[in-house]
Amino acid sequence: MKTAALLGNPNCGKTTLFNALTGSTAHVGNWPGVTVDKKTGTYKKLKEEIEIVDLPGIYSLSPYTPEEVISRNFILDENPDVVINIIDATNLERNLYLTTQLLEINVPVVIALNMTDIIKKNGDKIDAKILEQKLGVPVVEISALRGDGIDELMRITLEESYRTREGKTLFEDKQLLHLITDVKIAFEGKGVNNPLFHSVKLVENDEIEVKDHSDLLTIVSKYKEIINDEIFGDDFEALIADARYKYIEKEFGNVVSVSAKSSNGETKSSRIDKVLTHRIWGLPIFIAIMFLIFHFTFSEDLFFMGKMGLSIENEGWVNFFTGMGYEGEALEGIPSIGVFLQSWMGWLTGQFIAGFQWICSGFQEFGDVAANAASSTWYGSLICDGVLTGLDAVCSFIPQIMLLFLFIAIMEDTGYMARIAFILDRAFRKFGLSGKAFIPMLTGFGCSVPAIMATRTIENDVEKNRTIRLMTCFSCGAKAPIWALLAAVAVACGFGYADIFVFSIYIGGIALAVILAILMRVFSKDKYVSPFIMELPQYHLPQPKNVGAHLWEKLKHYVYKAATILTASLIVIWFLNTFGFENGSFCMVEEIEHSLIGYIGMGLKYLFYPCGWAINSDGWKFAAASVTGLVAKEDVVGTMAILFNGGAEDTLAESITSLSAAGIYSFAIFNLLTFPCMAAIATAKSEQTKKEFLKTLGFWFGVSYGMSSLVYWVGTLYEVSIVGGILVTLAIIGLVVFASFLVMKKDKFTFKTKSSS
Ligand code: GDP
Ligand code: MG
């Protein structure tokens, strides 16, 4: 089987092409840094299969970041049969910079000229023939997004994979070329593969090359004494880069002929960006969009009817359209699509459990009788009160979570998510948070594991460690059921609105990350903020294929997780909940407080006293649920279902009545910020040194414990005295503002001392 590697700049469409070629559903991220490791798949439409390798996006073959090292080493050391160099045709000259380096390696190359659909739409023209002549390799026009031209691309790729190609340089500076040729001969003498590539890199003073071939440095330095450029002096890296760009501009400056329509710079994307990334309105618009998303997913009152005092008799078809959960009650509003689906899902899983109870009871009367009978045998209790009750609680939130993921997938696919990183970078760079850190953090809305892996793109270790620590502020998908449940509890207790509750958790998390970053900077000596250069991809309508594939992956993952790790942990939790010590012997217990989990929870409860949610008589249940959340975050909900509900008729949210509003928030904050699940903890461990990892663990626990307590006590103060609450809140805001002021001042000071030295 032949191997073809996909190489190109970040955001040129590699992953889109990879997915189109292999039918894979690798995640298409609309920002650099999402493909950190290489991925492989197979193209099967030709008589011979071709293995496709998706490499991290890079701008040059001189490694500065870990991703660049992966891509460079793959091409030099793994000897792919052919490299497909993807070029974003709307950004031709910058993309060709990498091409001029790639062509110096002895490997067949095919150029995939991507995004030609945009070129056509803008009314521009591109002359692929000139490219082909000058570069000396085949050029195929494609649109990875629409699948145009990709079969032709692969046909030519297979042909090329049987050829060999000698590397060549593409720039014209005579002195440099002379030097490079001499060094190349020396490399050939040493029997090194790809002598031309190594020779150019050595002349460029490339770090890896200088280390590996220090013996050849004398030749280079002898020559270098002769050449001394007026502009670049003896910076040979800059000299060669300049030579490459000059060549590209001279030869390829006219390959794309720009029509009048796009030459005045007013593409549709730039018009949309004028609004969405507006200096002042960008951030409020983002917040408003987030609110709408949570409103559509979690609101019980989509059109604010309840607030206007309208209500509807909930009968017949109204009942059907508003979900089963509302049967028999007058409606205070029309539920959002998320709540509607959730109440149907809850009804469905409820019927499912009732069926099992009926079977386990030996086909007694359906309903309460069957439920009681099922609970009386150990197997009936295991299946109905343990596994099914837990899974019911976790799975009934599937529709809402899928809806949330749908919105996130749309934001990513259209190109808006990349703008969010840009907006956040602009707003918070002064406080030491760069967009480089926000990209992994925003990935964290999906899952912390790939998000923590994506911090590899941050070169600065202090910033990388900080980003990993702040990751828990960004609520991952597995925590969403906890918010959905707590929101329902808040509504059932009459404290508030579900959508606002969940919205405040997400936005509050981002705000907290910023505040913590500021505080961490006050106490840190390191002032470095990574530069953030990102190209914003053009907006396009969400592609049902991309979005659908993404959702399908999530759903599969969720169901798989429920069937494996969640079921297994629910069995353990059921066991701990059912067995214990009563009357001096180990047995199935009557009183839940005497169960094993009861003892564990009672012990832990005191540890969490300051956080507030552990104070009441049910406090031990919350403590136990938080601990099981370490295995998987969905277990928090599963555990609460078993401990609170145990086969009772009323819904879970209604049986949790022991928390105050402050308690609900404080419990949510604790679970948001505390240790993530095992998988994420293990990922952090592998990304950090031992010392930093231990600090991270301490940070997660300390911050969650501290913030949870703070929220509880300030919240309780509000319940007692609003004035007191406001005063304390103002004091806290004052502290944060003071800290930000310190950070800005500190940075200015260091900047001054640096520039004056
Ligand atoms: P990668 O960083 O190189 O892996 O790039 P991605 O595959 O993640 O694509 C970056 C963005 O470009 C995504 O929003 C894609 O939907 C978009 N994109 C990729 N190929 C095309 C194309 O041929 N036409 C258009 N209009 N957009 C594309
Ligand atoms: Mg990619």
| Three-class secondary structure assignment of 602-615 | HHHHHHCHHHCCCC
Protein residues with C-beta less than 5 angstroms from the ion ligand 2: 15, 35
Task: Identify the CA nearest to 66 among candidates 570, 521, 456, 433.
Answer: 456
371 lines ligand 1 (CB under 6 A): no
Q: Are 340 and 326 in contact (CB under 8 A)?
A: no
* Per-residue pLDDT tens digits for 308-357: 777 766 666 666 666 555 555 666 677 888 888 888 888 888 888 889 88
Asked whether the predicted pLDDT for residue 8 surpasses 50, the reply is yes
Phi, psi dihedral angles at 617 (to 5 degrees):
-65, -25
| pLDDT of amino acid 475 | 94
Asked whether the predicted pLDDT for residue 577 surpasses 60, the reply is yes
| pLDDT of amino acid 318 | 61
Q: Are 152 and 21 in contact (CB under 8 A)?
A: no
Instruction: Tell me what the mean pLDDT of segment 444-463 comes to.
Output: 86
Question: Which of 28, 55, 126, 414 for mutating ligand 1's site (highest number of atoms within 8 Å of CB)?
Answer: 28
| pLDDT of amino acid 677 | 92
| pLDDT of amino acid 231 | 62
Q: Are 10 and 58 in contact (CB under 8 A)?
A: yes
Q: Closest ligand to 28 CA?
A: 1
26 lines ligand 1 (CB under 6 A): no
Asked whether the predicted pLDDT for residue 747 surpasses 80, the reply is no
How many Cα atoms are found within 13 Å in the side-chain-facing hemisphere of 366?
6
* Per-residue pLDDT tens digits for 254-290: 887 776 655 566 678 888 999 999 989 999 999 999 9
Ligand 1 mean position, distance from CA 671 (Å): 36
Reduced to 3 states, what is the DSSP secondary structure of residue 526?
coil
Mean of the per-residue pLDDT values of the chain: 86
* Per-residue pLDDT tens digits for 110-153: 999 999 998 888 888 888 999 999 999 999 999 999 999 999 99
Q: Closest ligand to 10 CA?
A: 1
Asked whether the predicted pLDDT for residue 186 surpasses 50, the reply is yes
Asked whether the predicted pLDDT for residue 610 surpasses 80, the reply is yes
Distance from C-alpha of 239 to C-alpha of 345, rounded to nearest angstrom: 65
243 lines ligand 1 (CB under 6 A): no
Ligand 1 mean position, distance from CA 406 (Å): 19
Instruction: Tell me what the mean pLDDT of segment 439-451 comes to.
Output: 88
Residues in contact with 113: Cβ distance below 8 Å, sequence separation at least 6, in sequence order: 87, 89, 126, 128, 131, 139, 140, 141, 142
| pLDDT of amino acid 668 | 97
Asked whether the predicted pLDDT for residue 544 surpasses 70, the reply is yes
Asked whether the predicted pLDDT for residue 33 surpasses 60, the reply is no
Distance from C-alpha of 590 to C-alpha of 296, rounded to nearest angstrom: 43
Q: How many CB atoms lie within 10 A of CB 416?
A: 20
Asked whether the predicted pLDDT for residue 575 surpasses 70, the reply is yes
pLDDT band at 647 (very low <50, low <70, confident <90, very high): very low
pTM of this structure: 0.78
